[in-house]
Amino acid sequence: MSALLGLEIQELEQLLGPDHPRFRARQIYAALYRERHPDLMQVSTLPLALRRELAAGHAVGWPAVERRFDSTDGTRRYLLALADGKTVEAVWMPEEERQTVCISTQVGCPVDCKFCMTALLGLERNLTAGEIVGQVLAIAADNRLAVEGQRLNVVMMGQGEPLLNLANVLKATRILLDRAGCGLSPRRLTLSTAGIIPKIEELGREPVRPKLAISLNASTEEARRELMPITRKYHLKDLLEACRAYPLRPWERLTFEYVLLKGVNDSEADARRVVKLLANLNCKVNLIALNPGPEIPFETPDTERVLAFQQIVKRAVPCFIRKPRGRDVFAACGQLRKVSSPV
């Protein structure tokens, strides 16, 4: 059974072959992504014979909600089962003004950040474009999000390093942003990377792409190397150069994320160095106080420290503190590790 989710128009046309009128491909595309049908047998505008033909060899391919963990703050962490039995996590974060879905791009993660629980899983495999889009559809449906007119934000900040699965991430992006597809606003889709420099350059050349967020997490090359071993290959200096060269769209700016670790990278000197590093970049900074977890050898700084850090950075660039969401159910940044209950 192959999945229909993840196919673009031309691929659907090919799949149908010459025996069906071409508009059928568009109809199926709309049913999959705009109307968000989990089962094409229910789509009565398609001829029954075609529905049967499709169902014989293909599943739509939504991931199944294996478990859901509801936080006291409204956040929901989902353990989603894929066709091969593997699972990934995605997170639903409702707010007054908007809704955000955080999705995964790989099963596990190959980037070995020392403060992140997902790193402990290692990489199992890349997700397909259909599995990436499917997370958004399944979670929107589970939360009864209407199809049209919702202020839905999607962030690729769950398990995995999106730029190490770029082809599938880009294909999913085209479907998510296509008006005839999921119809998300390009301003509401963001990808976060640990800093895979050649892929940042590649991303910049794509006409249809998410906004870019970069996990900075340290103020010196040495400290970053300790916390994020990937920086041994992709140096901080070169990363910032790639950021300077990045072709931002007129409405766009870069986001830098900075995980604050008590006594490690949260000093005022660190904050001043961050300001220097980001000089001349059109950007904002999101501070994330460490979300703690078992086997993570760091502590969360006190609120006063976080605020003091913000004050310094704020003088130079817009700087926000990311509110922790769903820590009680291990749904917060860096806590996605497939544990079935809070430990």
**CA-to-CA distance for 13 and 182, rounded, in angstroms?**
19
**CA-to-CA distance for 168 and 126, rounded, in angstroms?**
8
Minimum distance from residue 200 beta carbon to ligand SAH (Å): 12
311 with 303: CB under 8 angstroms? no
Minimum distance from residue 259 beta carbon to ligand SAH (Å): 4
Percent of the chain that is helix, strand, coil (3-state, to 5): 35, 20, 45
* Member of 71, 99, 215, 265 binding ligand SAH (CB under 6 A): 215
> Is 333 annotated as catalytic?
yes
Residue 88 binding ligand SAH, by CB under 6 A: no
**CA-to-CA distance for 76 and 149, rounded, in angstroms?**
22
Of 58-66, 110-118, 276-284, 311-319, the segment contacting ligand SAH by CB under 6 A is: 110-118
When the beta carbons of 63 and 158 are compared against ligand SAH, the nearer one is: 158
Of 52-60, 84-92, 108-116, 306-314, the segment contacting ligand SAH by CB under 6 A is: 108-116
What letter would DSSP give residue 42? G
Neighbours of 120 (CB within 10 A): 15
Residue 115 binding ligand SAH, by CB under 6 A: yes
Residues 18-57 that bind ligand SAH (CB under 6 A): none
Minimum distance from residue 79 beta carbon to ligand SAH (Å): 18
153 with 99: CB under 8 angstroms? yes
Q: How far is residue 278 CA from its own chain's centroid?
A: 23
Fill in the amino acid letter for 286: N
- The site string for ligand SAH over 277-296 (x = CB under 6 A, - otherwise) reads -----------x-xx----x
- The site string for ligand SAH over 183-212 (x = CB under 6 A, - otherwise) reads ---------xxx------------------
**CA-to-CA distance for 311 and 315, rounded, in angstroms?**
7
107 with 127: CB under 8 angstroms? yes
When the beta carbons of 181 and 334 are compared against ligand SAH, the nearer one is: 334
Point out the residues that are catalytic.
89, 333
Site residues, ligand SAH (CB under 6 A): 111, 113, 115-116, 157, 161, 192-194, 215, 217, 257, 259, 288, 290-291, 296, 333-334
